[in-house]
């Protein structure tokens, strides 16, 4: 595969072009795209022509945006789509019962990546967004997935813990103890670790082989009474999602007994 004079691969340059577009920059001029992707203009314009020909970019008047076809190609083959389609009806149930933002997140490259979020605009403060990332240790989703994840990943994670608010736990021993507790209880409650006003509550979603593949979470106002109803709603819904993914309830009990 052809590399540029600077040695970076075609695929890497393509990633830079796609990553130049985001929710703050949904459309770009050719010059803006070249600058944001750190590409020489001639390279950028040549790539734009090819990407337009394949409908990976679309024209939007004088500007460019990611092509709907690119979204389609990626969505059809992505495991994210299957997971979020299985989860969405159950997320609506949680939303109906709890009445606050409900999110679905996975761990990807040492972050929590949110793949779905539903909720009204009246819901409590929630900085998560679909396709947005947050640090693992600052989120209930990240912690519950770490608690139910492989031991090596836990140790890697415990070595890098920046503080985000006064409530963010960064002491490895305290976190180790919290993770053990979460494995036992099956849920994580984190008050004010990212935004002081909110509490995150998360439970794991299991795939057919018993892996904790996603975290189902609600963000509720911190001073909003007991969290138990949220935990109950989440656990109920997470069982439904897991079952829709082929999970056999007995498997998880087996895993829990072995812990």
Residues 4-33 that bind its own copies (CB under 8 A): 9-12, 14-15, 18-23, 25-26
Nearer to its own copies, 82 or 196 (CB): 82
The upper half-sphere exposure of residue 152, i.e. CA atoms within 13 Å in the direction of its Cβ, equals 0
Nearest distance in Å: CB 106, its own copies? 7
Cβ 77 to its own copies shortest distance, Å = 3
Alpha-carbon distance of 217 to 201, in angstroms, equals 5
Sequence-distant (6+) residues with CB within 8 A of 122 are: none
One residue of 5, 7, 62, 120 binding its own copies per CB under 8 A: 120
Residue 150 found at the interface with its own copies (CB under 8 A) = no
Say how far apart CA 6 and CA 199 lie, in whole Å.
Answer: 47
Applying CB under 8 A, among 32, 63, 97, 130 the residue interacting with its own copies is 130
> Does 171 help bind its own copies (rule: CB under 8 A)?
no
Q: Nearer to its own copies by C-beta: 130 or 169?
A: 130
| Least spacing, CB of residue 167 vs its own copies, in Å | 27
Secondary structure (DSSP) of the chain: --B-TT--BHHHHHHHHHHT-BTTBSSB-HHHHHHHTT--HHHHHHHHHHHHHTTSEEEETTEEEE-HHHHHHHHHH-HHHHHHHHHHHHHHHHHHHH-S-EEEEEEETTEEEEEEEE--TTSPP----TT-EEEGGGSHHHHHHHHTS-HHHHHHHHT-----STT----HHHHHHHHHHHHHHS-EEEESSSSTTEEEEEEEEE-TTS-EEEEEEEEEETTSS-SHHHHHHHHHHHHHHHHHTT--HHHHHHHHHH-
Interface with its own copies (CB under 8 A), residue from 40, 82, 221, 249: 82
In angstroms, the CA 109 to CA 99 distance is 31
Between 7 and 225, name the residue whose CB sits nearer to its own copies. Answer: 7
- Based on CB atoms, which residue is closest to its own copies, 135 or 183? 135
Task: Write the binding mask 29 to 68 for its own copies: x where contact by CB under 8 A, - elsewhere.
Answer: --------------x--xx--xx-xxxx--------xx-x
- Our finding on whether 220 is near its own copies (CB under 8 A) is no
CB closer to its own copies out of 106 and 195: 106
- Report how many residues bind its own copies under the rule CB under 8 A: 61
* Minimum CB–partner distance for residue 163 and its own copies (Å): 26
Answer yes or no whether residue 97 interacts with its own copies by CB under 8 A: no
Residues of the shown chain interacting with its own copies in the complex, contacts defined by CB under 8 A: 1-2, 9-12, 14-15, 18-23, 25-26, 43, 46-47, 50-51, 53-56, 65-66, 68-82, 85, 88-89, 92, 95, 106, 108-109, 113, 115, 117-121, 130-133
């Amino acid at each position: 595969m052809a590399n540029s004079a600077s040695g970076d691969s075609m695929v890497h340059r393509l990633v830079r072009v796609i990553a130049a577009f985001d929710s703050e920059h949904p459309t770009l001029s050719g010059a803006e795209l070249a600058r944001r992707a750190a590409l020489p203009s001639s390279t950028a314009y040549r790539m734009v022509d090819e990407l337009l020909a394949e409908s990976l970019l679309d024209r939007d008047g004088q500007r460019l945006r990611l092509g709907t076809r690119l979204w389609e190609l990626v969505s059809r083959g992505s495991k994210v789509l299957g997971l979020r389609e299985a989860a969405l009806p159950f997320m609506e149930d949680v939303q109906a019962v709890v009445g606050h933002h409900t999110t679905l997140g996975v761990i990807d490259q040492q972050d929590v990546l949110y793949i779905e979020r539903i909720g009204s605009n009246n819901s409590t403060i929630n900085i998560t967004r679909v396709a947005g990332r947050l640090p693992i240790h600052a989120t209930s989703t990240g912690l519950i997935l770490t608690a139910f994840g492989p031991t090596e990943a836990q140790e890697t994670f415990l070595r890098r813990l920046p503080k985000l608010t006064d409530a963010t736990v960064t002491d490895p021993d305290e976190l180790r103890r919290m993770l053990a507790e979460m494995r036992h209880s099956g849920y994580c409650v984190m008050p004010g670790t990212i935004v002081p006003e909110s509490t995150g509550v998360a439970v794991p979603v299991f795939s057919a082989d018993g892996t904790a593949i996603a975290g189902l979470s609600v963000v509720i106002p911190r001073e909003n009474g007991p969290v138990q109803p949220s935990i109950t709603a989440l656990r109920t819904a997470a069982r439904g999602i897991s079952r829709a993914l082929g999970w056999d309830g007995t498997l998880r009990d087996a895993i829990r007994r072995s812990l």
